[in-house]
Amino acid sequence: MTAPLFRRPAVFDALLASGLVLLATALLGQDANWDLQNYHLYTPMALLSGRWPQDIAVAQLQSWHNPTLDLPLGGLVLAGAPGWLVSLWLALPSAVALFFALRLMDRLWPQAASRWRSGVAALVALSGAAVLPGIAASFNDAFVAALAMPALWWMAGTRDRPDAWRGWWLPGLLLGLAAGLKLTAAIYCLGLLAACLFAGSLRRLPARVALLGIGGIGGFAAGAGWWMWRLWREHGNPLFPYFNQWFHSPDAPYLDHADARFKPETLADALLVPLRLLGENRRYAELTVADPRLLLGLLALLAWGIAWGRKKRSSVATPGPAPWPLLAFVAASYAAWLALYGIYRYLLPLEMLLSVVFVGMLSQLPLRRWLKPALALAAVLVAAATNHPNWGRQDFRSPMVDVRFPPFPRDSLVLLAGIDPLGHAVAFLPSDVAAVSLSNNFMDPQRCTRLQDRVESRIRSHRGPLYLMRQATPAAAPFQAYGLAISGSCVPVADSLVPVELCALRRAAPTTARSCSWTAAGR
Report the pLDDT value the prediction gives residue 481, as an integer from 0 to 100.
Answer: 73
Report the pLDDT value the prediction gives residue 314, as an integer from 0 to 100.
Answer: 77
Residue 465 lies in a domain: no
Is the distance from CB of 438 to CB of 479 less than 8 angstroms? yes
Which residues constitute the domain of residue 198? 5-31+66-384
Residue 224 lies in a domain: yes
Report the pLDDT value the prediction gives residue 418, as an integer from 0 to 100.
Answer: 87
| The total number of structural domains that make up the chain | 1
Cα distance between residue 470 and residue 458, in whole Å: 19
Cα 56 to the center of its chain, rounded Å: 24
Q: Which of 141, 129, 152, 118 has the alpha carbon at shortest distance from 19?
A: 118
Amino acid at 161: R
Q: Residue 23, by phi and psi: left (phi above 0), alpha (psi -120 to 50) or beta?
A: alpha
Residue 391 lies in a domain: no
Report the pLDDT value the prediction gives residue 319, as an integer from 0 to 100.
Answer: 65
Residue 511 lies in a domain: no
Cα distance between residue 43 and residue 64, in whole Å: 8
Residue 342 lies in a domain: yes
Strand, helix or coil for residue 56? strand
**231 C-beta neighbours (distance < 10 Å), count:** 22
* Whole-prediction pTM: 0.93
Report the pLDDT value the prediction gives residue 522, as an integer from 0 to 100.
Answer: 44
Is the distance from CB of 176 to CB of 215 less than 8 angstroms? yes
Is the distance from CB of 221 to CB of 179 less than 8 angstroms? no
Cα distance between residue 443 and residue 437, in whole Å: 7
- DSSP per residue, 209-229: HHHHHHHHHHHHHHHHHHHHH
Cα distance between residue 284 and residue 460, in whole Å: 42
End-to-end CA distance of the chain: 77
Residue 147 lies in a domain: yes
Report the pLDDT value the prediction gives residue 518, as an integer from 0 to 100.
Answer: 59
Which sign does the torsion angle of CA 61, 67, 73, 75 carry? positive
Q: Residue 476, by phi and psi: left (phi above 0), alpha (psi -120 to 50) or beta?
A: beta
Residue 486 lies in a domain: no
Cα Dmax for the chain: 89
Q: Residue 447, by phi and psi: left (phi above 0), alpha (psi -120 to 50) or beta?
A: beta
Strand, helix or coil for residue 382? helix
Q: Which residues of the chain have pLDDT under 50?
A: 1-3, 5-6, 520-522
Is the distance from CB of 273 to CB of 249 less than 8 angstroms? no
Q: Which residues contact residue 315 at a Cβ distance below 8 angstroms, ignoring those fewer than 6 apart? A: none
- Give the C-alpha distances (Å, rounded to integers) separating 141 from 75, 91, 321, 350: 20, 11, 29, 11
Report the pLDDT value the prediction gives residue 1, as an integer from 0 to 100.
Answer: 38
- Please state the φ and ψ torsions of residue 477, each to the nearest 5 degrees: -140, 150
Q: Which of 169, 179, 189 has the alpha carbon at shortest distance from 223?
A: 179
Which spans in 127-185 are helix H?
131-134, 141-156, 169-181
Residue 402 lies in a domain: no
